């Protein structure tokens, strides 16, 4: 078996441009990997039964271990790309040591799926490029291609069209997972025309990241899904406002929520905020940009 690290992501901007004919939404967002990560162990042995099989085990009791798990879908999609004559029937074994909060807007499931693609590519010596793995990833979920590469990128389309961004900003992220369950399709469905924009902020955010202008980065974080998520789940708004009052700085939602976060330029400031927030929220994570 070999191991791949699956990083969580935050959205530093998330602009929704509009609804598409295929049911998805056109988005424009800055995605940033953070060092909160799962460990994904991948093994592949010749199957004794003559047919391929995929088996998942996990330290988390919160996610299904069958074909509803994106890691399973990823393994299936990967095997389909390699001719059976070449690989023979395989028993694929996947173990997920879960640290990223489940169903939280941090792409935890997508990150595991991307780690399975990278892991199978290595263990089977398939020699696919990251671009080819991202192409398979796009068929699994909108966030999977980003998770194949990690780092920082502007994501467009439904999230699968990526423009890689390099910057040196290594801000600390204070990440909170409120105990609220949010369905991504429900939030997309609740968007109203006023939530859409024709003027995305990704380009400006990338420039600020490249300049390392911390206070302006904080001022420019946006999420076009926040209003709809907070309208559907007023608890998210209550948590956000209580956090802002506690640490005296703005707090933002990542993805379709419920994860809330803010940034700090130094470990000392970040730790002070984490300590204050632990007073009323159990799940608080101190992370750093990857
Ligand atoms: O691509 P993924 O499977 O993660 O998307 C889950 C759901 O979220 C989609 O079925 C769709 O309802 C919604 N979605 C969307 N626009 C996007 C991404 C996701 O409407 N850009």
pLDDT of residue 211: 97
Q: Is the pLDDT of residue 54 over 80?
A: yes
- Closest C-alpha to ligand 1, atom 7: 185
Give the pLDDT band of residue 86 (cuts 50, 70, 90). Answer: confident
pLDDT tens figures, 1-22: 999 999 999 999 999 999 999 9
Atom of ligand 1 nearest to the CA of 140: 3
Question: Strand 53-58 and strand 90-97: pairing?
Answer: parallel
β partners of residue 57: 95
- Closest C-alpha to ligand 1, atom 8: 185
Q: How many CB atoms lie within 10 A of CB 284?
A: 19
- Closest C-alpha to ligand 1, atom 15: 24
Task: Measure 24 CA to ligand 1 centroid, in angstroms.
Answer: 6
Give the pLDDT band of residue 48 (cuts 50, 70, 90). Answer: confident
Which residue among 26, 158, 229 has the greatest number of ligand 1 atoms within 8 angstroms of its CB, and so is best to mutate? Answer: 158
CA dist., res. 170 & res. 216, Å (int): 15
pTM for the predicted model, two decimal places: 0.96
Task: Measure 18 CA to ligand 1 centroid, in angstroms.
Answer: 13
Q: Is 9 a catalytic residue?
A: yes
Atom of ligand 1 nearest to the CA of 23: 20
- Closest C-alpha to ligand 1, atom 20: 24
Question: Strand 172-176 and strand 2-19: pairing?
Answer: unpaired
Task: Measure 182 CA to ligand 1 centroid, in angstroms.
Answer: 13
Residue 192: Cβ-neighbour burial (10 angstroms; 0-12, 13-18, 19+)? exposed
Task: Measure 134 CA to ligand 1 centroid, in angstroms.
Answer: 17
Q: Tell the residue number behind the tokens 């489940």, with chain if given.
A: 102
Where does ligand 1 bind, in terms of residues with CB under 6 Å? 23-25, 27, 141-143, 158-159, 184-185, 188
Task: Measure 164 CA to ligand 1 centroid, in angstroms.
Answer: 21
Average pLDDT over residues 241-257: 97
**Catalytic residue of the set 15, 143, 186, 199:** 143
Give the pLDDT band of residue 84 (cuts 50, 70, 90). Answer: confident
Give the pLDDT band of residue 87 (cuts 50, 70, 90). Answer: confident
What angle (nearest 5°) sits at the alpha carbon of residue 226, between those of residues 222 and 227? 120
Q: Is 131 a catalytic residue?
A: no
Atom of ligand 1 nearest to the CA of 143: 4
């Amino acid at each position: 078996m070999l191991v791949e690290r699956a990083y969580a992501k935050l959205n530093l901007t998330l602009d929704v441009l509009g609804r598409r004919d295929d049911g998805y939404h056109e988005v424009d967002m800055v995605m940033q990997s953070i060092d909160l990560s799962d460990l994904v162990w991948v093994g592949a042995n010749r199957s004794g039964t003559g047919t391929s099989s995929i088996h998942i085990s996990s330290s988390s009791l919160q996610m299904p271990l069958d074909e509803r798990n994106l890691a399973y879908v990823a393994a299936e999609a990967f095997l389909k790309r390699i001719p059976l004559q070449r690989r023979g029937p395989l028993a694929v074994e996947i173990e997920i040591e879960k640290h990223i909060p489940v169903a939280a807007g941090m792409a935890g499931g997508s990150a595991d799926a991307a780690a399975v693609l990278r892991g199978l590519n290595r263990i089977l010596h398939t020699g696919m490029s990251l671009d080819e793995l991202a192409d398979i990833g796009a068929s699994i979920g909108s966030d999977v291609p980003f998770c194949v590469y990690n780092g920082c990128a502007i994501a467009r389309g439904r999230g699968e069209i990526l423009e890689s961004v390099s910057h040196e900003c290594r801000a600390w992220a204070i990440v909170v997972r409120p105990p609220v369950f949010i369905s991504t399709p429900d939030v997309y469905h609740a968007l109203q025309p006023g939530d859409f924009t024709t003027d995305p902020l990704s380009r400006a955010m990338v420039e600020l990241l490249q300049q390392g202008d911390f206070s302006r980065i904080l001022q420019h974080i946006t999420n076009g899904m926040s209003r709809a998520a907070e309208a559907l789940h007023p608890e998210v708004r209550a948590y956000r406002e209580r956090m802002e009052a506690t640490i005296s700085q703005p707090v933002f939602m990542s993805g379709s929520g419920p994860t809330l976060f803010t940034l700090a330029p130094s470990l000392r400031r970040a730790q002070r905020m984490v300590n204050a927030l632990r007073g009323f929220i159990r799940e608080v994570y101190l992370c750093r940009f990857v």
